[in-house]
Amino acid sequence: MSFSQRLHDKAQPIWEASHNHPFVQGIGDGSLNLEKFKFFMKQDYVYLIDYARLFALASMKATSLEHMSMFAKMLDATLNVEMDLHRQYAAKLGISNDELEDTQPAPMALAYSSYMLSVSERGSLIDLVTAILPCAWSYYEIGKKLAEIPGAMEHEFYGEWVTMYQSEEFGEISDWLIKLIDQLAEGLPENELTRLEEIFLHTSRFEYMFWEMSYNEETWPAHVL
């Protein structure tokens, strides 16, 4: 069994919970409350800023020009494709650019991105790839599954989201990261693989909690603002 398959098998219960979450299912069948989606898009926009920083850090930690180049492409795709989708949605949903740019991260979003940055800054390239892989991989799986729902990709507000994350282009990013983690894990001792597995499971859990946060529109308690 490859290391990536081992990670996928271990995280499957968490990923199934994410796929079955009412927020995700609501995107697929069009029943999601639009205010919840607005909250999600603003928080995801903030999250993607730190996610982009991780690709920049990966390019620095990479030891081959091929890997450096690919991470640079991922950085560009995040900043200029994925975040552009968020900006387009913001305009469609009546969210001004100022409101989008001024969004402050909710506690869960802050915890998630801070954890990934901490793991990636302190660790090696495989630590970083392990931390970011659940986001790319699970989103692609979710996108493909939601695309099977009749009309999901034609929905007025959610169709573009489903179309993007089920796309071959997004899948190529996920597939490349999967192949890379298997290359980097080759020959590592079991105790190191177990440590990496915990990172993967933690960020998989954070993915689930991000859906939960968005569904409940969770932010800081009013009395501590």
Task: Measure the CA–CA gap between 104 and 121, rounded to whole angstroms.
Answer: 23
Answer yes or no: 156 catalytic.
no
Q: Label residues 10-42 b or e (16+ Cβ within 10 Å = b).
A: ebeebbebbbebebbbbbbeeebeeebbbbbbb
Q: Is 176 exposed, middle or buried (0-12, 13-18, 19+ CB in 10 A)?
A: middle
Q: Which of the following is catalytic: 16, 66, 168, 207?
A: 207
Amino acid identity for residue 222 in this structure: A
Q: What DSSP letter does each residue of 140-193 carry, written as one string? A: HHHHHHHHTSTTGGG-TTTHHHHHHHTSHHHHHHHHHHHHHHHHHHTT--HHHH
Positions marked active-site = 207
